[in-house]
Copies of this chain bind each other. A is one copy, B any other.
Amino acid sequence: MPMVTVRPYSQAIDRLRSAGLRPTRQRLALARLLFDGCDRHISAEQLHSEALTSNIRVSLATVYNTLHQFTDAGLLREIVVDAGRSYFDTNTGDHHHFFYEKSGRLCDIPAEMVGLTKLPEAPAGFNISRVEVIVRVDG
């Protein structure tokens, strides 16, 4: 087993490259903010201000573009629960969500915590692309 050093930069570069995205300074910085820690649900504005706080000079427009590029590339999943605000989920695996109605916060529910035993068939000519379970809680 070879000695391994953590190399966040090259990890992020590889991630972008395999997604077919040029590893520009902005995309790299945003990727590290998004993927270097634990899973998160983040809005464009939040990510933008985190970037500024971390001294990463990036425009809000670029944050939006980047989030959509990452989503199209399968690196993120977009979640809409609240009118007029999109969240981007760094967890693209099979799972569900708690939604805290007052605070607007989201929280993951692992797929195995939900028993879905019956589902209707997709309408003729359509395919089910995803089944989302949202458990709304009143706080």
Contact = CB atoms under 8 A, between A and B. Distances in A.
Contact of A129 (B125, B132, B133, B137): B137
How many monomers of this protein are in the complex? 2
Interface of A: 78, 80-86, 98, 100-101, 107, 109, 113-120, 122-123, 125-139
Nearest to A139: B126
Contacts of A100: 126
A132 to B, nearest CB: 4
Contacts of A120: 98, 109, 113-114, 135
Nearest to A112: B118
A113 B123 contact: no
B138 A126 contact: yes
Contacts of A78: 83
